[in-house]
Amino acid sequence: MSRTIVLASTQIDMSYLLPTFAKLAPELDIRMHQEAPEHADTVLCWHAPAGLFGALPRLRLVQSIAAGVDHITADPTVPPDVPICRIIDPNMASGMVAYVVWAVTHRHRHFDQYLARQTQGIWQENPIVPTRLHRVGIAGMGVLGLAVASALAMLGYDVAGWSRGPKPDLPAGVMGYHGAGQLGDFLARSDSLVCLLPLTDETQGFLNADLFARLPAGAHLINVGRGGHLVDRDLLAALDRGQLGAATLDAFTEEPLPGDHPFWRDRRIVVTPHIATRTGPTVVVTQLLANLARLDAGTPLVGAIDRQRGY
Ligand code: NAP
Ligand code: GLV
pLDDT over 70 percentage in the chain: 99
Task: Give the Å distance between the CA of 305 and the centre of ligand 2.
Answer: 14
pLDDT tens readout for residues 201-216 = 999 999 999 999 999 9
SS3 74: coil
> Of the candidates 248, 299, 246, 289, which has an alpha carbon nearest to the alpha carbon of residue 44?
289
pLDDT tens readout for residues 70-117 = 999 999 999 999 999 999 999 999 999 999 999 999 999 999 999 999
Compute the average pLDDT of residues 144-166: 98
Contacts of 76 (CB under 8 A, 6+ apart): none
Instruction: Give the residue, by CA position, lying nearest to ligand 1 atom 4.
Output: 142
Task: Give the Å distance between the CA of 282 and the centre of ligand 1.
Answer: 23
Compute the average pLDDT of residues 153-177: 97
Contacts of 79 (CB under 8 A, 6+ apart): 53, 54, 59
Task: Give the Å distance between the CA of 49 and the centre of ligand 1.
Answer: 24
pLDDT tens readout for residues 29-58 = 999 999 999 999 999 999 999 999 999 999
Count CB-CB contacts under 10 A for residue 255.
Answer: 13
Kindly list the protein residues whose Cβ atom lies closer than 6 A to any atom of ligand 2.
Answer: 66-68
Ligand 1 pocket test: pick from 143, 164, 201, 222 the residue with the most ligand atoms within 8 Å of its Cβ: 164
Q: Is the peptide bond before 127 cis (omega within 30 degrees of 0)?
A: no
Q: What is the pLDDT of residue 51?
A: 92
Kindly list the protein residues whose Cβ atom lies closer than 6 A to any atom of ligand 1.
Answer: 67-68, 96, 140-145, 163-165, 196-200, 202-203, 224-226, 250-251, 274, 276-277, 311
pLDDT tens readout for residues 215-254 = 999 999 999 999 999 999 999 999 999 999 999 999 999 9
Three-state SS string over 165-181 comes to: CCCCCCCCCCEEEECHH
Q: What is the pLDDT of residue 303?
A: 98
Active site residues: 226, 274
Residue 15 corresponds to which amino acid?
S
pLDDT band at 2 (very low <50, low <70, confident <90, very high): low
Task: Give the Å distance between the CA of 125 and the centre of ligand 2.
Answer: 37
Q: What's the rounded Cα separation, in Å, for the pair 256 and 191?
A: 29
Ligand nearest to the CA of 95: 1
Q: Which domains are seen in the chain, by residue range?
A: 4-89+279-297 (3.40.50.720), 92-271 (3.40.50.720)
Average pLDDT of the chain, as a whole number? 97
Q: What's the rounded Cα separation, in Å, for the pair 26 and 74?
A: 32
Task: Give the Å distance between the CA of 117 and the centre of ligand 2.
Answer: 34
**Length of the chain in residues, anyone?**
311
Ligand 1 pocket test: pick from 11, 250, 311 the residue with the most ligand atoms within 8 Å of its Cβ: 311
Ligand 2 pocket test: pick from 224, 277, 305 the residue with the most ligand atoms within 8 Å of its Cβ: 277
Q: In the β-sheet with 4-8, what is the strand arrangement from edge to edge? A: 29-32, 4-8, 42-45, 61-64, 84-85
The pTM for the full model equals 0.97
Compute the average pLDDT of residues 289-300: 97
Residue 5 pLDDT greater than 60, yes or no: yes
- Helical segments of the chain, H only: 18-24, 70-73, 90-108, 111-118, 143-154, 183-188, 209-213, 232-241, 281-297
Compute the average pLDDT of residues 280-304: 98
Residue 1 pLDDT greater than 90, yes or no: no
